[in-house]
Structure 1
Amino acid sequence: MKEVSAGGVVFRQQDGETYVQMIQDRYGKITLPKGKMESGESVEQTALREILEETGIEGRIVEPLETIRYQYTMIGVGLVDKEVHYFLVEATGGKLTAQVEEIRGVEWLLPKDAWYQQVHNGYGNNDSVVKKALIKLGYEVK
């Protein structure tokens, strides 16, 4: 079985600073907003819808970042080939609100803090996605 999802690294500019959005998932891990593609959607539409649903933030896609692929086992289904399309997304509106049915929390972080959280509390397969986004936003990542 194949499953396609999409999401993004969401950023905003405020008072001369850049902030990056990170979420805490239901397992307590730091991650990015993402979700499954619905029938008739493009990956871009899926990314923007999922960001809005999970975080309350409306956005516009700046550019694609990366597509990651992995496998996991689903009870009753078996092996699932997962493909996640990530985009760099600029926040354009909305109110930051966590979708409590899906995630534990969401917050805006300075880029250095977002990178620290990703490296220490995030999923390893998101490291390159966050790193690419921060570099595109003009931040050096070590």
Structure 2
Amino acid sequence: MKEISAGGVVFRKQGNDTHVQMIQDRYGKITLPKGKMEPGETIEETALREILEETGIVGAIVKPLETIKYQFTMSGVGVIDKEVHYYLVEAKSGDLHAQVEEIRGVEWLHPLEAWHQQVHSGYGNNDSVLKKALHSLGYEVN
């Protein structure tokens, strides 16, 4: 069985300041907003809908970042081939708030603080996604 999800690295610019949005999932890990594709949606529409639902932010896709593929086993279903499409997304409007049914919290962080949290409390398969996004925003991280 194949499951397609989409999400993004959301950023905003305020004057000379850039902030990146990071969420804390229900397991307490730092991650990026994403979710499953619904029938009739494009992958891009899925990414923007999930960002809005999970964080309250209306965004616009700037460019694709990366597609991550992995497998996991779901009880009663078996092996799932998961594909997650990530985009660099600029925040356009909305008020930041967490979708409490799915995530614990969401916040705007300085890009280097977002990287620090990702490295120390995030999922390893998001490292390259966030690194590519930060590079696009003019920040180099290791």
Instruction: Say whether the fold is shared (TM-score over 0.5).
Output: yes
**Alignment correspondent of 2:74:** 74
Listed as ranges, the matches of 1:90-105 within 5 Å are: 90-105=90-105
Q: Match for 1:54: what amino acid?
A: E
TM-score (normalised: structure 1): 0.99
CA distance in 1, matches of 2:140, 2:36: 31
CA distance in 2, matches of 1:136, 1:103: 27
- State the identity as a percent: 77
TM-score (normalised: structure 2): 0.99
**Alignment correspondent of 1:57:** 57
Instruction: After TM superposition, give the deviation of residue 15 of structure 1 in Å.
Output: 3.4
Listed as ranges, the matches of 1:8-27 within 5 Å are: 8-27=8-27
CA distance in 2, matches of 1:40, 1:75: 27
User: Please, what is the CA RMSD of the aligned residues?
Assistant: 0.5
Q: 2:47 aligned with 1:47, yes or no?
A: yes
CA distance in 2, matches of 1:63, 1:128: 15
- 4+ residue runs over 2 A deviation: none
**How many residue pairs align between the two structures?**
142
**Alignment correspondent of 1:139:** 139
CA distance in 1, matches of 2:140, 2:130: 12
CA distance in 2, matches of 1:62, 1:129: 14
Q: Match for 2:14: what amino acid?
A: Q
Match of 2:99, SS? coil
Instruction: After TM superposition, give the deviation of residue 16 of structure 1 in Å.
Output: 1.6
